[in-house]
Each structure stands twice: as structure tokens, then as C-alpha cells.
Chains A and B, each alone.
Chain A
Amino acid sequence: MSSNLLLEIVDLIKTFGAILVTNKVSLNVKPGELHALIGPNGAGKSTLINQITGELDANEGSIWFDGQMVNAMSISHRAQIGISRAYQVPQLFSSMTVSAHLNMAQIAKNHLGFQMWNPSVIHEGLSESLEMILSKVGLLHLANHPSSELAHGEKRQLEMAICLSSSPKLLILDEPLAGLGPSESAQMIELIRSLKGAYGILLVEHDMEAVFSLADRVSVLVNGEIISSGSVEFIQNDELVKAAYLGDELEAH
């Protein structure tokens, strides 16, 4: 693989029984680049993400991350080397406060989980860098709230903050705007924009306006296959994409 790529997927194939859900997908993300993955429901976007994070094993093909082949690595190992995923449905620790989540990400990152005697840092305040992350996503005022009491939009923001706390190299954002109101959406878009450049980002999103304003590159996944990939302008004018998917969406806007 070429060394200037953060993530490189080569000819990935995944089948569920007789159904081909990932059909020879090749895709890459450069360091600092925001690569958007779009496609209709059921196109296989989540399945693809699950193969990158390790929640699913691919049948064929290879996934390279930061110069290493990661196909055989566990989910936790992939997280350790810098792949961080913000789930579509925020995945939180229901009995913990907001700040405890960020501390937990640090415990994981720094291998401090086997400290068994001293009181956990989890109950202490946040370090300066974690505080900055929390204020960046706009949750600093809720630092000591139980996560179970957060509104949906706030859970989203926390999900992002947790990802950032583990200082990843690649952020995989799975529909970060789903279920957000207009002002929350605008906030989230600004947040993602502010992260551009600092991290490689793979963005899966249905909101085309957001995708086209944020992405450096866009790939279109239909029926498990990448039918087109290129700059925003290229995708917007691609007849194949229009026919398969974008037509309705563009008219809607």
C-alpha cells in the first residue's frame, strides 16, 4: 500500500449467506482528509464500517490502517492503534457521568485499567485537555451529569467527545446528524468542520447538504458496490450517481 494513506481498503468482500453485502469495495482516507460515504438505506454502509472497526470479519480483501494490515485484529486492538467510531445510536455507560466517559477513554488509551487499588481518576475532575474537548463539543456545563439524563442531541455530542478523548487518528462518524434538530445539526456540522485537518474522517451521512459542504471526497455505495468516487463537484454531476441515488435527493433540496 502507498504510505501516504491513513486507511486503505482493497477489494473487500463480505457475504451474508448468499447475499453479497460488500462487493469488491476499495476505498481510502488520507491523513487529515474528510471522506464521505453516501448511499441509500441498505446499501451496506454500516456493514462496511463494521468491517473497518472489526465488529464484522470480511470474507476477502484487506484493510490497511497506518501501514498495518488490520484484518485479523480485534475491535479493541484496532481502537488502540487509532480507529475511533462514533456510533449512529450513541453508545454510553448508563451509570456514569459525562466526565467519567472521557476519563474512561483515557484509561483505555493509556492502559491504566489494571490499577486495582488507588481510587479511579474517573471520579476526579477532568484534565485540561479533556476539559477542552468537552467545551469544544459544548457539554462542559453538563460535566457532572449522569449520561442517562442527557437529551438525544447531548448524547451525540458526548459520543463525539468520547471519540476525541481517545486521541484517535481516524474518526468514523456514523450518521452524526441523524435525529438532530436544525440548530443542533448546525452545531454538529461546525464541530465536524473544526475537526477537519486534525484527523482523517470517514463520514457516513444522509444529509447531502452537510456532506457536500464538509467533504473533500465523496464515495457512493449502492448495493454493496462503490459506483462512483471523487470530488463533491464530480459526484454532483455524475450521471450514474444521479440515476442510482442522488436524483431524488437533489430535487428535494
Chain B
Amino acid sequence: MNNLVENLPFMKSKRLAFSLVAILILALMVPLFNQPYYTKLIARVCVFAIAAVSLDLIVGFAGMVSLGHAAFFGIGVYCAGILAQFGITSIGLVVPIALVVALVIGGVIGSISLRTSGLYFIFITLAFSQMIFFVAQGLRMFGGDDGFRLPGPTIWFDGISLSQPRVLAYTMIVTLLMVIFVTSRLMSSNFGQVIVASRDNPRKIRSLGIRPYPYQLLLFMISASICALGGVGFANLNEYVSPASISWVQSGEFLFMVILGSAGTIIGPVLGAAAFVCLEQLLSSWTDYWMFYLGIILMLRVIFLKSGLLGLLTRRSQ
């Protein structure tokens, strides 16, 4: 166990660990103040952070840039919506179903996409997510292009549902913590190290007797599942189900969060998601062209911050 803690990237710096604990305490306190706007903001950060961490597994650790991850986010959103349409709203059913659907579709998309690499991988993942986007758009009975109002929130027990900002926020915080824990363990295991080695030198890992494909496929499926978790949260956050959650713009935003935070670090994308949501709220209240400023910020990050926002928090102590 000791060994594990040392291996988690965010435990190598005391300053970072301290900052993270402070952020977590803050996040846990906010919902207590009965300000639904800020409570939902926390939930929004967690929803996007879950998606960003899942994308980081593929982009950062496996070294393959996917521009179609919103497909799995959307699967989570639509699972929550469609199941609610049929009266299934228990979290004990919605979440496992969303996980399995994303796992299976992730398996199909991954098994084909992973036969390519580099630029082709970017395009094929984009193409698959566009296919899923248009399928969702074509679902007339489920709102088609406009989407539909979430018929009912996902519920824990009678009277405790994700439509209550506080319940939603705490549920998403706990889910995010679990995702961070599980992915950290996964990436510090033999499996995770094979993934990293395959990224560093695919030729060498083959010559040692390991074919990267089955490892990468399993990782892709796990990543898809985790992303769908975020999607279930997103449907409850907006109380709305829309094809926009599958759009390539959404995929691009996930990628933005991963890069802003620092890819291949798990905690970096969490910081990236937090920064993205805050910037989105601040800038969009100030100007309609907030995307423009977001672009400038990403440029500054690429030019000046070698290891992203995470680097800002670890720099001095290393």
C-alpha cells in the first residue's frame, strides 16, 4: 500500500497534495451554503473531470489522441434519458447499464480504431463519434435534433435524487474520487505500465513478446465506461438530453481540459476541467466570444507551461 501511494503521480509533491486536499475540502463545503448555482458548478466540474480523466487514459498514457470521446459521454447522457423514459431511474440500474453499453460500444469502436495510429486514429474516432451523433439526432422518438427533457432524475432512494443540487454535487464528488483512485491503481499496475511502454516504444514492447493491441483495447473500453459515468451526471445536471453532448465540439473541450491540465497524470485533467468550467462561466458572462479567449489561454499554456496547470502546482517542490 505504501508503495502504491508513492507511485501516484500526485503524491510525489507535498505542495500538490496539500493544494488538492484544500480544493477537496472547499468542494465539499460549497454545497453546504445553499447556493444552487455554486453547488451545480461543483457538480459540473466533477462531471467534466470524470470525462477528462477517462480521456487522459487514452491520450496521456496510451499516447493516442482521440477526437471522439464525447460519443461515450453521450452514451451516458442518453442511457439516463432513455431509461428514464421507460421509468427506470434507480441509480443502481442506470449506472451499470450505462457502464455496460459504453463498454460494448467502446469495444466495437476501439477494436477498429486501434488498428490505426496517429492522424488516422484521430480521424476514425472522430468519424465514429459523428456516426453516434447522427444516430442520436435521428432518434425521432427521443427528440431528434432538439433532444428532450430528462423525464425524471436518477434517484438513490425515494426522496433523494440527483435533481437536488446537493445530492448531485456530493454524488459526483464521490464518483470522481473513486475514478481517480481506480485509474491511479490501474495505471500503476503491470497493465498500466505495459500501456505506457507501448506508447514509449511499440516496436520494443513487441520484441519483448507483448502485442499492445489487446491491452489498448481493454483500456479503451474502460475509458469509454468511465466517460459514460460523467454522461449520466451531465444529464442530471442539465435535466436535459441533447445530441450536443455528443458533438465533436464536446470532444474537443475534453481534449482541451486534458492538455490544459497536463496529459498522462490523471490529476492534471481534473485541474484542467476545473479551470475550464471556471473560465467558461467567467468569460461567457463577460463576452460572447469567450471561446476566443479560451484559445489564447491554451496557446499560453502550450508555450509557457511545460507540464500544464499541474506543473504550476508541483514546480517549486521538485
- What is A's interface to B at a CB cutoff of 8 Å? 53, 55, 74-77, 79-80, 84-85, 87, 91-96, 100, 104-105, 107-109, 112-124, 162, 166
Contact = CB atoms under 8 A, between A and B. Distances in A.
Contacts of A75: 206-207
A53 B209 CA distance: 11
B142 interface: no
- 3 closest A-B pairs by beta carbon, nearest first, are A79-B209, A93-B200, A91-B204
A86 to B, nearest CB: 9
B191 A114 contact: yes
Contacts of B282: none
A12 to B, nearest CB: 20
30 contacts: A75-B207, A76-B207, A76-B209, A76-B210, A76-B211, A79-B206, A79-B207, A79-B209, A91-B203, A91-B204, A93-B196, A94-B200, A100-B193, A104-B194, A104-B208, A107-B190, A107-B194, A108-B210, A113-B194, A113-B210, A114-B191, A115-B189, A116-B186, A116-B190, A117-B185, A119-B185, A119-B188, A119-B189, A120-B190, A120-B193
A113 B215 contact: yes
Chain B interface, >50% SS class: helix
B86 to A, nearest CB: 34
Nearest to B264: A95
Contacts of A105: 208
A109 B209 contact: yes
A37 B210 CA distance: 28
A123 B6 CA distance: 10
Nearest to A100: B193
Interface in B181-230: 185-186, 188-194, 196-197, 200-201, 203-211, 215
A85 B207 contact: yes
A116 B201 CA distance: 21
B197 A96 contact: yes
Contacts of A115: 189-191
Contacts of A117: 185-186, 189
B27 to A, nearest CB: 27
A113 B201 contact: no
A96 B208 CA distance: 15
A94 to B, nearest CB: 5
B7 interface: yes
A107 B207 contact: no
Nearest to A83: B207
Contacts of A100: 193
Nearest to B219: A116
| Most interface-central of B4, B192, B200 (chain A CB within 10 A) | B200
B3 interface: yes
B115 to A, nearest CB: 14
Nearest to A90: B204
A120 B6 CA distance: 12
| Most interface-central of B3, B190, B200, B206 (chain A CB within 10 A) | B190
A60 to B, nearest CB: 24
| Most interface-central of A75, A109, A120 (chain B CB within 10 A) | A120
B210 A121 contact: no
A123 B206 contact: no
A115 to B, nearest CB: 4
B190 A122 contact: yes
A124 B209 contact: no
Nearest to B202: A91
Contacts of A114: 190-191, 215
Contact of A84 (B197, B207, B210): B207
Contacts of B201: 91-94
A80 to B, nearest CB: 4
B7 A123 contact: yes
A38 B22 CA distance: 65
A122 B193 contact: yes
Contacts of B205: 104, 108
A80 B209 contact: yes
Given A91-B201, A93-B201, A107 B193 contact: yes
B4 to A, nearest CB: 5
A96 B188 CA distance: 13
A123 B208 contact: no
Contacts of A74: 206, 211
A166 B7 CA distance: 25
B190 A112 contact: yes
A116 B189 contact: yes
A122 B200 CA distance: 15
A105 B189 CA distance: 15
Contacts of B203: 55, 91
B264 to A, nearest CB: 9
A105 B204 CA distance: 10
